[in-house]
Each structure stands twice: as structure tokens, then as C-alpha cells.
Amino acid sequence: MSKRKGKSLTWKIIEQHLVDGKMEPGQEIGIRIDQTLTQDATGTMAYLHFESMGLPSVKTKRSVSYVDHNTLQTGFMNADDHIFLQTVAARFGVYFSRPGNGICHQVHLERFGVPGMTLLGSDSHTPTGGGIGMLAIGAGGLDVAVAMGGAPFYLPMPKIVKVVLKGKLQPFVSAKDVILELLRRISVKGGVGKIYEYSGPGVKTLSVPERATITNMGTELGATSSIFPSDEVTRAFLKAQKRLKDWRPLSADPDAEYDEVIELDLSTIEPLVAQPSLPDNVIEVRKLKGLKVNQVCIGSCTNSSYRDLMMMARLLKGKKIHPEVSCTLSPGSRQVLQNIERAGALRWIIDAGVRLLECTCGPCIGMGQTPGTGSISVRTFNRNFKGRSGLKDDRVYLASVETAVAAAIYGKFVDPRTLGKAPRITMPQVFTIDDGMIIPPPPPRKRKKVKVIKGPNIKYAPVKEPLPESFMVEVLLKVGDNITTDHIMPAGAKILPLRSNIPVISEYVFSGVDPEFSKRALQKGGGIIVGGENYGQGSSREHAALAPMYLGIKAVLARSFARIHWQNLVNFGILPLVFVDSADYEQLKQGDILDFSDVRRQLLEGDVITAKVVTQNRTVQFQHSLSERQKQIILAGGLLNYTRQKAIK
């Protein structure tokens, strides 16, 4: 593969940024990171990590700190985090996007994204930047902190999948339906270890916001990233953003080689919806015709662009929200909100009876708008994991703006193609731009004078001890397939404000699965967790590894792992091990005792680790896919310890 003649766009960008390793599928590579982004739910801990490294400034071309998740201020914690984030950004040379300016992915696409650059973000939906031709990857906050310090970002060289788009979308069919169709075909775990690169004649029919919807929700495939070429459509978008200097054409070679090829005829796609409670549980909207809907939430980083909100406004003009439906709108950015207002479209939305929320993530991350008991909520978001909305037994459906608006008007699912003639939405030639809520850092000579302010809830991350020679541990919890980071470390208005206080937030680990888990882990002095397929899918939140580490979790044994969570486990010194024989997963039970003898030697000498199940008097084998570098991270007790040790040497 490394001797290829024609190169894909993904290959070209990785090759230009490669600083370590060989570009062979599965081999660990290190790439230079040009830009980083953080958001406030993950950013506080990321900047505490960075601060602990002792560096005077970030070393990236641009780093941006966004406040878009924890904006519901019911106590002092969120406000304190925002003050810390603003002062630490000024201290270390980071741009700061104030609360209310917008959702990180939408704003970054508008104001900072550059085709051909690499972007690492402490949010799993960072691949939104692929809509503008960036190689954008989500990661844990510690990985982002290390990248801000100038170190490479390490990942297994992904397989590159070519998605050939043909034809053109039919009226009332949107980019959301494209990615839902791919999720139906590929599943939430089918994209693990892959980057999806879009090409074909259908690409030019999609605007940058439509492309960004696809790359954003490509995360739900389990993919490392997704990317579109940078073409004349990209040029027009950047010109409208008054950033034409950032544009350059980028595409694959005509004879580029790929690991897989998928063809998709856009003209054959119809309106789709993801049923509860996974994004790949996809069905045609027409098959749900007549199903009563109680709540509709439009917005989030997936569908809150100018294109989406203009579509919403045009469909609602002269109409009213059904009297038994609560409908909300979370605009993606202040720029989007200002531009639809100046186009006269905001009035149509308000007149229809829509509740206007902040330009933030809002209901998508469980910050308000929890649906009523037994009700059905239709959302234009990217995830409908059980309980993510704030209601344990929620019934959340994911749909396009067109489908969501139709449900809001009629109070039930209807095929949006029955709404009449579809509006034609054109992008502005020039956006109204106001960057007044983006604060650039002061000049380097003034940064040392900035005082970083930390409230009482802000605590440095605990550090794990090096991996012991041997350990005997109990299975504290056994779970099934597709366990998400929402299961492990829930979000929502109650828990998110605790993100900068690991001892306190650790009390909520697996609280929705087993309310006694945290207490049991502390009483037992730690232990291990057993999981099924795709363990840790979803958000990049490193707290799903950091808090279990604090509770003494030594290892997670699973059938397979989601990429970001696997890396977060390594970063915090927790062994991620995969069953060699899946039958062993079935036989292990909560309460079993496992003896990991001579584990350091086993880790160094091979890729198989053997443990004795003391309570069953038998042995079981696990595989790890750790690189030599990652072995040293585990042995050191995590990436922070490893980084400090390297600095001392």
C-alpha cells in the first residue's frame, strides 16, 4: 500500500504531517497537529493537563477554547470553569470563544477551519471540519493538551474508504438522510479504524454545511474521521466568510488507491429517521406515519447551520407548531442567528411558536429540554443513546430538519415530501460577520502577567501509580454490547458541572447502570470491568476513563473497543484487553476474581496476556494492540507520567 502511485486526499494530508511511523494500516503513526479545539465540558481538564506540563505557550498554529456545553448556570461551578478557561486561554496563547458565540464545530468551520490542515479536538464530533477539507479528529483532553504542547498525535494508521456519491438529492431529502443511510448500511461500529473520504459527481451538489453534517455524524460510524475535497463549493463558502486566503484546492489523484469503496446514489435516498436508541437503528419516515410526537428539538452541531435554519424558517412560514408539541431551536452560532434574522427568517420561526434557546449544544448534551414521561422526542442531533436526553427511559428519534419540522407542524410523523413544494435554499455570497465574542490572546510579552483564576471546584487530575508486577482483582461490573461513554460517565445538567472535580464526579460512574458501582469500587479498592462489543462508543469525554481510574479500575476486558475510549484508557493507565476467545466473555461473571501474575513482563514480551480466573479455577487469555510507546505509557501509569519521565530524560 505504501508503494501506491495515486494518492487519496486523506493519504496526502497524513503524509504531509507524518512525523513518526509508517503509513501501513494498523501501524501506529504520529502526525503533526496544526490546530486544536476544546469545549468547556472537556476543556477545563485539558488545560489543567497543559498547565501541569510547564510550557509557556501552545505550539500549534491555532488553538481555540469554546464555551458551548456547560452554559446552564444553576450554581457557581460552570461560571467558575468559564472564568478559568478565559484566563488560561489568555495565559497560554489560545483564542477564546465566549458563551453564546456558538457551538465549537459550527464556529470553527465558519471562522478557523483551513483545508489541508490537521485539527485535533477534545470532542468526538471534531470531524465536522472534514466538511471543509480538514483532517479533523476527535480525541481525549489529555491527547489534545499534549498536541498543544507541540507533540505529535498518535493513532493507528486508518484504512481509507472511498465513498462515491452519484446523482442529486431529491426535494425534502437532505445530508442528514445521507449519513443515516450510511449508518443503516455500516452500523455504529462498522467504521472503527477507518476514514471516510467522499468523492464523485454528487459531491459538488452539496454545500459546505451539508458536507459538515455528513462528516459530523460520521463519528457515529465509529470512524476516525470523514473528509470532503476542497473545491469551488469550499471556495465560495470561505469567500462568503471573508477568508478566501485560507482556501486552496485539494482532492485525491484520479488513480488514487483505497482500502474499500462504497457507492451511494443520492437520488435514491428518501427521508429517514433513527429510532431509539442507536443512530444506526434507521428506518424510512413513511413507515412511522401517524406516530404521535410530543417534542421536537432542532439544532446542535449536526444541523444548525444557515442552510438548516433557513430551511426550517421557510417550512414554518405562515404555519404554527402543533398545540401538543414543544418545539425548540438551538442555533449553531451567533453568526447563523444574526444572518437568518437579517434575512427576515427568524420572525417566521418565532411566529410559528418555536422556543428559541441559546447558541449552544443545549438539549443534545442533556442541558435542559428533558422530554416528558413516555413521550416521543424528535431531534436533529447526532446521538439518541438511552438516557442522554436526561430521561432514563427516553424515546428519542433522530431526523433531518425537514422531517423534524413536519413532525412539529402535524404533531406526528409524516413524510416531509407531503409538505408541498420544497424551498430552495441558497447560501449567501457574503455572510454578516461579527467576531466580537471571540477573544484573541494577548501578545506573548503580556501573557506572563495574566493571572489564571481557579474556583474551588477546579482540581488537578489524580495521577495513577505505575503498573504493578502483578495484581488480583474482582470483576466489579459486567455489561453488554455498545456501552457508550454516556453509560460510563453520564452528562446532563447535574453531572457536567463536576467535570473539573474528579473525586466528586467519580461518584456517578455507571450511575445509570448500577447506582452502587462507585461505592463498591472504592470499598473493594478497585477492580476490573467486563464489556461486550464496541465498548466506549460515543463522546470523547476522557472522564469515562479518568474517573474509573480514580476508583481503582486496573483493566477493562471487552470483545472490542471504540477508538477514542480505548486511547483514553491507555492515557490513564488502564489496560484495555480484548478476549481471545469470545466464549470467555460469556463465562465471566460479576464477582469473579482474576489473578494477573507477572503482567509487566507479559506486556513487554508479547501481545497476549494470560490471567487466572481464581473463582472458576481456569485461565483466560486476552490480546492487546498496544504499540511499544503505548506499552511504556501503561507501565508508567498513564500519559502524564510518561510525558514527565521523557521530559526528565
Question: 87 lies in a domain?
Answer: no
pLDDT tier at 1 (50, 70, 90 boundaries)? very low
CB 257 within 8 A of CB 6: yes
Note whether residue 529 is domain-resident.
yes
pTM for the model stands at: 0.93
| H or E element, residue 212 | helix 208-217
Long-range contacts, stretch 288-291, CB < 8 angstroms, 24+ apart: 288/397, 288/413, 289/412, 289/413, 289/414, 289/415, 290/412, 290/413, 290/414, 291/376, 291/412, 291/413
Specify the DSSP element, H or E, that contains 399. Answer: strand 395-399
> CA-CA distance, 46 to 42, in Å (whole number)?
6
Domain boundary among 417, 432, 458: 417
> Could you say which of 417, 439, 456 is where a domain stops?
417
Q: Which residues contact 63 (CB under 8 A, 6 or more apart)?
A: 35, 36, 37, 38, 93, 94, 95, 148
Asked whether residue 497 falls in the same domain as residue 397, the answer is: no
Tens-place pLDDT, residues 225-243: 999 999 999 999 999 999 9
d(CA 579, CA 622): 5
- Work out the pLDDT band at 4, boundaries 50, 70, 90: low
131 or 387, greater pLDDT: 131
Provide the Cα torsion 395, 406, 72, 215; round to 10°: 80
Q: Which of 49, 105, 383, 395 is catalytic?
A: 383
Are 488 and 614 members of one domain? yes
Which pLDDT band holds residue 648 (cuts at 50, 70, 90)? low
Residue tagged active-site, from 124, 326, 333, 539? 539
**364, 496: one domain:** no
Give the pLDDT of residue 2. 46
* pLDDT tens per residue across span 597-623: 999 999 999 999 999 999 999 999 999
In terms of domains, do 477 and 408 share one? no
391, 493 contact by CB (below 8 A): no
Amino acid at 554: K
Structure confidence by residue, pLDDT tens digits, 244-285: 999 999 999 999 999 999 999 999 999 999 999 999 999 999
- Judge contact between 166 and 266, C-beta under 8 A: yes
Predicted local distance difference test score (pLDDT) of residue 547: 95
User: How far is Cα 153 from Cα 476, in angstroms, rounded to an integer?
Assistant: 33
Residue 125 has pLDDT above 60, yes or no: yes
Count of other CB atoms within 10 angstroms of residue 617: 7
341 is a domain residue = yes
Weakest-pLDDT range from 5-19, 37-51, 493-507, 545-559: 493-507
Strand partners, 30: 20, 154
Catalytic-labelled residue, pool 17, 91, 334, 541: 541
Q: Are 66 and 443 in contact (CB under 8 A)?
A: no
What is the distance between the alpha carbons of residues 262 and 335, in angstroms, rounded to a whole number?
35
- DSSP 3-state of 558: strand
Burial of 361 (0-12, 13-18, 19+ CB in 10 A): buried
Residues 382 and 480 placed together within one structural domain of the fold: no
For the domain that residue 301 is a member of, what is the CATH number? 3.30.499.10
Confidence of residue 3 (pLDDT cuts 50, 70, 90): low
In a domain, 291, yes or no: yes
pLDDT at 192 over 70: yes
> Which of 40, 68, 80, 280 is an active site residue?
68
Domain boundary among 417, 438, 453: 417
Look at residue 484 and tell me if it is in a domain: yes
What CATH number has the domain bearing residue 599? 3.20.19.10
- Is position 634 within any domain? yes
The answer to whether position 72 is within a domain reads no
Mean pLDDT of all residues in 112-132: 97
The Cα–Cα gap between 622 and 606 comes to 11
- Residue 383 bears catalytic tag: yes
**568: its cell numbers:** 483514553
How many domains would you assign to the chain? 2
Identify whether residues 606 and 483 lie together within a single domain.
Answer: yes
Is 539 part of the annotated catalytic residue set?
Answer: yes
The answer to whether 304 is a known catalytic residue is no
Peptide bond into 277 cis (omega under 30): yes
Which of 73-87, 182-196, 475-489, 509-523 shows the lowest per-residue confidence on average (mean pLDDT)? 73-87
Q: Judge contact between 532 and 559, C-beta under 8 A.
A: yes
* Same domain, residue pair 520 and 391: no
390 and 480 part of one domain: no
pLDDT band at 649 (very low <50, low <70, confident <90, very high): low
Catalytic residue among 49, 69, 417, 543: 69
Coil/strand/helix, residue 242: coil
Q: How many residues does the chain have?
A: 649
Question: Quick one: 368 and 495 in the same domain?
Answer: no
The question of whether 231 is a catalytic residue gets the answer: no
Contacts of 162 (CB under 8 A, 6+ apart): 8, 197, 199, 252, 256, 258, 260, 261, 262
In a domain, 194, yes or no: no
- Single out the residue of 89, 90, 111, 100 nearest to residue 38, CA to CA: 89
- Among 368-372, 543-547, 558-562, the range scoring the smallest mean pLDDT is 368-372
Q: Does pLDDT of 647 surpass 70?
A: no
- Between 39 and 365, the higher pLDDT residue: 39
513 and 406 together in one domain:
no
Domain that holds residue 299: 275-417
Percent of the chain surpassing pLDDT 90: 86
Same domain, residue pair 635 and 540: yes
Q: pLDDT tens digits for 283-334?
A: 999 999 999 999 999 999 999 999 999 999 999 999 999 999 999 999 999 9
Residue 69 appears among annotated catalytic residues: yes
Beta-bridged to residue 28, according to DSSP, are 156
- Co-location of 525 and 605 in the same domain: yes
Averaged pLDDT score across all residues of the chain: 94
Enter the DSSP assignment of 302. Answer: T
For residue 519, what are the contacts with CB-CB under 8 A and spacing of at least 6? none
The reply to whether 68 belongs to the active site is: yes
Place of cell 404555519: 319
